Structure 1
Amino acid sequence: MRTEERSSLLGRVAGSPLVRLIVRRVLIAIPLLFAISVLVFALLEAMPGDPARQQAGMDATEEEVESVRKRLGLDRSPVERYVSWLLGFLTGNLGRSTVSGQSVAVLVGERMAVTMELVLLAFALSLVIALPIALLAARKPGGVFDRIVMVISMTLLAVPNYVLALLLVLVFAVSLRTLPAIGFVPIEDGLWENLRSVTLPVLALGVPISCFYARFLRGDLVEQMNSADYIETARAKGVGPWRVLWVHAFRNSSFGLLTLVGLNVGGLVGGTIIIEQIFAMPGLGMMMLQGAMSRDVAVVQICVFIFAAVAVFANLVVDVMYAVLDPRIRYGSR
């Protein structure tokens, strides 16, 4: 009986629209990530210069350069080298950096914590800023607070994050001398010092995105409040204005915000490449940029793969949250 119940349960799980959605998205993600890895490898191959000559030194003899080329595997064809990298990746062997000679897996493990902390804190900060501001602005559209919010958000959206980063350094590190301009302090060396070291890069990453979220959410909330029939019904029943805004309008507007968040995760992760350089943060973004400049294929390949996988995973989570928040969405029929 237990076997039959287990089989029945597995059958219901396998037939669930949500499970089919996840499987379908994963099957789409696999060839997408494969295509990205091929494209990155081809672009690195097309870059001018000889990595073997660069590592051996400009004064090295041809024999020394050829020795470095064989050691790095550059004497093989591009197809052979890519297949070797792909097979190594699938078996957990990420190879070694052609510049430092260190294991790429070790380098990624050391750097990933820095980048993930920046991304997660910037993402949390963007929502913490955007949600209350959008709700307050949508409460009285066209009011003083709404106009101030729109002007400030438009101004900050027009400023690139690297320019904002330099302005933050000028104000908080140079003028006020309250926060460090460069460097990263691990959490194990002290939580307070860790937070101080990441405050400026997190602000540079999170503030522009929070403005984008706030503008979008405010506009969608105002549209819901002015035209949706269910809002008029709630008001007719005597529901208070804040409850109408938060419970009724925000729930429907959250779907659009979810889509926007999923689409912006890739941009948020990509923004770390510049921000980590400005603040000298030893994360994946800095490692990838340095690897691209030195044509360290193994390093660049895995960094791009991680960034792409994060973006794909974020969109998968958004799709799943759609199904959870609104069961009327029939993913299984698509």
Structure 2
Amino acid sequence: MWPYLIKRLFIMVPTLIGVLTLTFFVTQFVPGGPVDSVLSQLDAEDVRSGEDGSSGGGWSYTARQGIDAQQVEQLTALYGFDRPPLERYLLMLKNFLSFDVGESYFRNESVWSLIKDKLGVSVSLGIWTFVLTYLISIPLGIAKAVRAGSRFDIITTLLVLAGYAVPGFVLGVLLIVLFGGGSFWDIFPLRGLTSDNWEELDAWGKVTDYLWHITLPVTASVVSTFAFKTLLTKNTFLEEINRQYVLTARAKGLSENKVLYKHVFRNALLPLITGFPGTFIAAFFTGSLLIETLFSLDGLGLLSFESINSRDYPVVLGTLYLFTLVGLFVKLAGDIAYVLADPRIKFDALEP
């Protein structure tokens, strides 16, 4: 296994370089870069000043007319666009491989500092979503497999499919309307993970305040994600329950719990581990944007979205850099989990 893991670690480097290279050339050559974004803001301010009757007759943003050419050159040099694309790319690659992702164009702060400030929100939302997804889907899937075809199985299947059919952000809007002071009950807050007086609360008060804030966003995230895992668990257990070794274990007089959790569970666990990396990444990053926006949670998803809109390329590349690193290591952890769940798996046997 160790040679395989070492090889995977070495493969991560070209994979990371490939992702950064593709993103760099996409961001550098799309219309409307950071320079144009600043000029657009200046144009809007100039138009507003003209409407107010103050100085400034208004210059056209198109073709950068009406602005000092020297100022445009200064902005271009400030953001590094006065250098050839290849030089910018090599400099970016050198800095990123040494974990220096640079400074934000518009926030006057280092990218790592921004990520550090926003990471807590995404990690908090992601951990709860990820843990609750598996804590609910695995026991429920096992219960459905044991009672396959019963009324419990049919009713829970309908509920699970209904939850799966409703997108997380739609459920979030419904929860806000019902419990966030929309039209019915004003029970849960709709902004941030803690109250303004959180520092003044005692330990128990801080815990309850945090759980009070996180309830609605986590509910919106979990309901739409655990359905697939529940049905996968059920189908996997049904397939394993019908195998010969289960009949043999029952013939030996083992209790049903021992058969399920000592014999069936380990074999049925492998398909669940297959989806571990994707669920992890979705819970922490890709699925959090709409939830963060809806519940005013200032996390990495919202930071990435705003950075793309404002053409803040260092932040875009920095967040993608982090997402890619986490994704690669989570995939590696999933391979390790294969071996821990089933020691019979040998990665070197798959190599020529």
How high is the TM-score relative to the length of structure 2?
A: 0.84
8 A Cα contact 1:52 1:66, kept in partner = no
Larger Rg: 2
- Which of 94, 97, 112 is the equivalent residue of 1:105? 112
My pick for the range that moved more, 148-157 or 292-301, is: 148-157
In the alignment, which residue of structure 2 is the partner of 1:213? 229
Output the amino acid matched with 1:124: V
8 A Cα contact 2:20 2:317, kept in partner = yes
- Which of 243, 258, 273 is the equivalent residue of 1:243? 258
In the alignment, which residue of structure 1 is the partner of 2:32? 49
In the alignment, which residue of structure 1 is the partner of 2:239? 223
In the alignment, which residue of structure 2 is the partner of 1:328? 344
Output the amino acid matched with 2:229: Y
Output aligned runs, 1:78-157, within 5 Å: 78-157=85-164
In the alignment, which residue of structure 2 is the partner of 1:62? 69
In the alignment, which residue of structure 2 is the partner of 1:264? 279
Distance, in Å, in 2 between the alignment partners of 1:78 and 1:101 is 24
- Distance apart, 1:303 and its partner CA: 0.6
- Cα deviations across residues 52-77 of structure 1 (Å, max 9, x unaligned)? 13224224543322211111112222
Distance, in Å, in 1 between the alignment partners of 2:249 and 2:169 is 45
In the alignment, which residue of structure 2 is the partner of 1:26? 9
In the alignment, which residue of structure 1 is the partner of 2:294? 278
- Distance apart, 1:133 and its partner CA: 0.9
* Higher helix proportion: 1
Distance, in Å, in 1 between the alignment partners of 2:131 and 2:159 is 20
Distance, in Å, in 1 between the alignment partners of 2:14 and 2:308 is 23
Name the CA shift for 1:46/1:199 in 2 (closer, same or farther; >3 Å): farther
Distance, in Å, in 1 between the alignment partners of 2:252 and 2:317 is 58
Distance, in Å, in 2 between the alignment partners of 1:168 and 1:62 is 52
My pick for the range that moved more, 52-61 or 19-28, is: 52-61
Gaps of 5+ in 1: 1-16
Distance, in Å, in 1 between the alignment partners of 2:120 and 2:174 is 26
Confirm whether residue 77 of structure 1 aligns to residue 92 of structure 2.
Answer: no
Confirm whether residue 179 of structure 1 aligns to residue 182 of structure 2.
Answer: no
In the alignment, which residue of structure 1 is the partner of 2:306? 290
- Which of 228, 242, 248 is the equivalent residue of 1:233? 248
Q: Percent identity?
A: 30
Distance, in Å, in 2 between the alignment partners of 1:158 and 1:103 is 40
Gaps of 5+ in 2: 47-66, 200-205
- Cα deviations across residues 12-48 of structure 1 (Å, max 9, x unaligned)? xxxxx2x222212212222112111112222212322
8 A Cα contact 2:130 2:279, kept in partner = no
8 A Cα contact 1:284 1:303, kept in partner = yes
8 A Cα contact 1:184 1:282, kept in partner = no
Alignment coverage as a number of residue pairs: 316
Confirm whether residue 40 of structure 1 aligns to residue 55 of structure 2.
Answer: no
8 A Cα contact 2:179 2:186, kept in partner = yes
- Aligned partner of residue 201 in structure 1, secondary structure: helix
Structure 1 vs Structure 2 CA RMSD: 1.9
Distance, in Å, in 2 between the alignment partners of 1:296 and 1:320 is 37
Distance, in Å, in 2 between the alignment partners of 1:273 and 1:62 is 39
- Aligned partner of residue 263 in structure 1, secondary structure: helix
- Distance apart, 1:188 and its partner CA: 7.0
My pick for the range that moved more, 182-191 or 79-88, is: 182-191
My pick for the range that moved more, 274-283 or 284-293, is: 274-283
Confirm whether residue 163 of structure 1 aligns to residue 178 of structure 2.
Answer: no
In the alignment, which residue of structure 1 is the partner of 2:269? 254
Distance, in Å, in 2 between the alignment partners of 1:188 and 1:303 is 29
- Distance apart, 1:127 and its partner CA: 1.0
